[in-house]
Structure 1
Amino acid sequence: MAKIIDLSVPTEDSPSEPLPVKVSHEAHQQGVEIMKMFFGCSEKDLPQGLGWANDSVTLISHAGTHVDAPWHYFPTSEGKRAKTIDEIPLEWFYHDGVMLDMRHKPRGSGVTVGELKTALKKISYKIKPWDIVMIQTGADKLWGKPEYFDAGCGMMRESTLWLIDQGVRVMGIDAWGWDRPFWAIKEDFAKTGDGSVIWGAHFVGKDKEYCHIEKLANLDKLPKPFGFKVACFPVKLTGGSAGWCRVVAILED
C-alpha cells in the first residue's frame, strides 16, 4: 500500500492568517430543526433525537494551503485572458515531485537560479517537464504563530522563470507566499524606489502561464527529496483566483 504524507496546513482560524478564517460548527442537536423542516419529521423520529452536524465557513480563497491561478497574478497571461483556477487542466496537478531545501537561507532573502542549481546538484537530480517543485524554507514550523507571516525566504522573478523554462508548471513553497515576505519587499522598495521588486515572482505569470502552491507544510517528513508523486488538485471555485487544496505526497512501496 502506498504511503501518503500530508503537505498541507490546517484551514482554521489561526494567528498566522492576516485575514482570519471564521468557522462556526453546528452540533448534532442543532441539526434537528433543519431535518424536521426538510423531512416533516419530529425529534423522536431521529436516532436518539439527533440530527446532522454542519459547519459555516467564511474565508478568502488564499487561506490555508491553496493553489494560485494565473488570474491572481494579472488579468492576462502570455497575451491572453489569464485562466481562473477552475480553468487550469487537472493534468497539471498530479506529477512527480521534487523538494529543494532552502532552510539555510536568511529570513527575507530571495532564492536565486544559482541556488536552485546547487540544490539540484546536491541531490543529483535533473528537473523534468511537469515536475512539481517544492521549495522548503522551514517557515511552516511557525504555523499557528503571528511570526509565520514574516518567516522564511522566497522566490524571485528570475528563479521562477528558470523553473518554468525547465518545463515546470506547478511549483510550491512552505511559507506564507511564493515571493519573499512583504516586509523584505517593502524594505527594498523603500531603498530603491524600483517597482520591479514588488511581487516580482508572482508577476512572472503575466508573461508565462504557471501556478504555484502557497502554505505547504511537512516537507521535512518526506523521506527523500524526489521519487514520489504530488497530488494537489484545487477546489473548483468558478472564476476563482485560487483554490483551497489538500496537497499530498504519494510514495509507492
Structure 2
Amino acid sequence: MTEIIDLSQEIYEGMPVFKSLPQVKMEIHNTHEEWSDEINPTTKTPAVYKLELGEHTGTHVDAINHMAKEHVGKSIDTMPLSMFYTEGICLDFSHKDFRELITSEDVKKELGKENLTIKAGDTVLIYTDHYRKAFNTENWGNGPGITAECCRWLGNQKIAAFGVETMSPGVPKISNKEVHYICGEMGFTHYENMINLYQLIGRGRFRFIALPLKIRGGTGSPVRAVAIFNE
C-alpha cells in the first residue's frame, strides 16, 4: 500500500513571505457566469484566478543561480530533474529553540539515534516543528537553522538537497547568507517552508518528490513536495 504525505504549504493571499519578497495576490480573472453569458448574475464563481507571487513563495526550491552572482545561467529550468526525485530521510531537531544553530555533530548524533546513513543523492529533511510552533506568528522568522559548517558537511556527503520548515535554511544574520553561498559553490540546493515533517520521524527512508515549475531563467520555484512510503 502506498502512503503519500504532503509536505507543502497552501498558497493564498496574505500568507507570510520572507522579508521583501513579493506578497501573494489572487483575484478572479474569469467567472463561470461570464462564460455562460449570464445577465446580472448574483454570484461570481471562479473559473480562472489571476495569481501574483514570487518564485520563492511557500514551499519552494532554490535554483543555483539564486545563491550568488557568479552562478548566472544555472537557473531552475537547467537543473536536472533527478535532483528533485530522490530518496529521503528526515531527522528530528524539534528540541532546538528559536534561532538556535544545528551543527554537523547534531546531524551525526540524530543519524546515530535513527540508525540512518546519508547516501549520495539523498534529500535530507530537517524537522524542527517550527511550522506548528510559530507559523504566521511574530516568531515565524526566528526559526532554527543550520551552520555554514553543517552545510558544507552535508555538501561533502554529495546530497541532492536538504529541506527545512523555516523561511531560511540558516539563521538570518548569522549563517543564512553563507549557507546559500556554500550550496551554490558545491552544486546542491535546499527547500524552504516545508510542513508535516513530524509525520516522517522514526520511519526511515522514503521516496521524496518535489518537482519545480519549468520557469525559463528562474531563480527558484514553488513545489508540491511529497514523501512516499511503499509498504
- Pick the aligned partner of 2:204 from 220, 226, 238: 226
3-state SS in 1 of match to 2:208: strand
Does 1:16 pair with 2:5?
no
Q: CA deviation at 1:30?
A: 3.3
3-state SS in 2 of match to 1:147: coil
Does 1:27 pair with 2:31?
yes
Q: 1 CA distance for matches of 2:57 and 2:46?
A: 26
3-state SS in 2 of match to 1:220: helix
Unaligned runs of 5+ in 2: none
1:192 alignment partner in structure 2? none
Distance 1:212 1:31, change over 3 A: farther
The CA deviation string for residues 104-159 of structure 1, in whole angstroms up to 9 with x for no partner, is: 11210211111011111110111100111001111111565243532320112111
Question: Does structure 1 retain, via aligned residues, the 8 Å contact 2:6–2:225?
Answer: yes
Q: 1 CA distance for matches of 2:130 and 2:45?
A: 41
Question: Does structure 2 retain, via aligned residues, the 8 Å contact 1:14–1:145?
Answer: no
Does 1:240 pair with 2:218?
yes
1:5 alignment partner in structure 2? 5
2:57 alignment partner in structure 1? 63
Distance 1:84 1:121, change over 3 A: same
Question: Does structure 2 retain, via aligned residues, the 8 Å contact 1:175–1:216?
Answer: yes
Distance 1:30 1:138, change over 3 A: farther
2:230 alignment partner in structure 1? 252
Q: 1 CA distance for matches of 2:6 and 2:27?
A: 24
The structure whose Rg is larger is 1
Q: CA deviation at 1:217?
A: 0.4
Aligned length: 223
Q: 2 CA distance for matches of 1:223 and 1:133?
A: 12
The CA deviation string for residues 33-92 of structure 1, in whole angstroms up to 9 with x for no partner, is: 6xxxxxxxxx69xxxxx9970010000100111100111111225xxx451111100011
3-state SS in 2 of match to 1:158: helix
Question: Does structure 2 retain, via aligned residues, the 8 Å contact 1:233–1:245?
Answer: yes
Question: Does structure 1 retain, via aligned residues, the 8 Å contact 2:90–2:201?
Answer: no
Query: Which stretch of the first structure deviates more once superposed, 96-105 or 221-230?
Result: 221-230
Q: 1 CA distance for matches of 2:200 and 2:46?
A: 37
Distance 1:82 1:112, change over 3 A: farther
Q: 2 CA distance for matches of 1:13 and 1:106?
A: 29
Unaligned runs of 5+ in 1: 34-42, 45-49, 189-196
- Pick the aligned partner of 2:157 from 154, 166, 171: 166
Root mean square deviation, CA, Å: 2.2
Specify which structure has the higher proportion of helix: 1
Equivalent positions of 1:1-253 (< 5 A) are: 1-18=1-18, 19-25=22-28, 26-32=30-36, 53-77=47-71, 81=72, 83-142=74-133, 145-147=136-138, 149-180=140-171, 182=172, 185=173, 197=175, 199-222=177-200, 224-253=202-231
Distance 1:83 1:108, change over 3 A: same
Question: Does structure 1 retain, via aligned residues, the 8 Å contact 2:114–2:202?
Answer: no
Q: 2 CA distance for matches of 1:13 and 1:234?
A: 21
Question: Does structure 2 retain, via aligned residues, the 8 Å contact 1:74–1:205?
Answer: no
Q: CA deviation at 1:171?
A: 1.1
The structure 1 segments of at least 4 consecutive aligned residues displaced by more than 3 Å after TM superposition are: 30-33
Query: Under a length normalisation based on structure 2, what TM-score does the superposition of the two structures give?
Result: 0.88
Q: 2 CA distance for matches of 1:118 and 1:82?
A: 38
Distance 1:159 1:17, change over 3 A: same
Q: 1 CA distance for matches of 2:194 and 2:45?
A: 35
